[in-house]
């Protein structure tokens, strides 16, 4: 379980490091990271993708200098 959690955290961190330049890229990268995290934690892939897409998009819009 600990290995899975660490893998999920690393995947999420890597995805946030690659925010994307356009809104479409930001949504796509966030959705990929969310789905990957959900797969690692045996959760719903659709929910993970939706939360990841929204989270990455909001983060990138609120912090334009960091993306």
More confident residue, 58 or 67: 58
Q: In terms of residue numbers, what domain contains 56? A: 2-62
Residue 67 lies in a domain: no
Residue 29 lies in a domain: yes
Q: How many domains does the chain have?
A: 1
- pLDDT bin (cut points 50, 70, 90) of residue 66 is confident
pLDDT at 5 (0 to 100): 72
> What is the number of alpha carbons within 13 Å of residue 41 lying toward its C-beta?
19
> What's the pLDDT tens digit per position in 12-62?
666 555 678 899 999 998 898 888 888 888 889 999 999 999 998 998 889
pLDDT at 51 (0 to 100): 92
Surface-to-core class of residue 1, CB atoms within 10 Å of its CB (0-12 exposed, 13-18 middle, 19+ buried): exposed
- Which tokens hold the place of 46? 């659709």
């Amino acid at each position: 379980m600990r290995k899975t959690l660490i893998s999920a955290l690393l995947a999420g961190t890597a995805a946030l490091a690659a925010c994307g330049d356009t809104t479409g890229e930001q949504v796509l990268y966030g959705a990929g990271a969310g789905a990957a995290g959900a797969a690692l934690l045996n959760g719903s892939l659709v929910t993970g993708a939706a939360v990841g897409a929204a989270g990455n998009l909001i983060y990138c819009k609120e912090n334009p200098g960091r993306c």
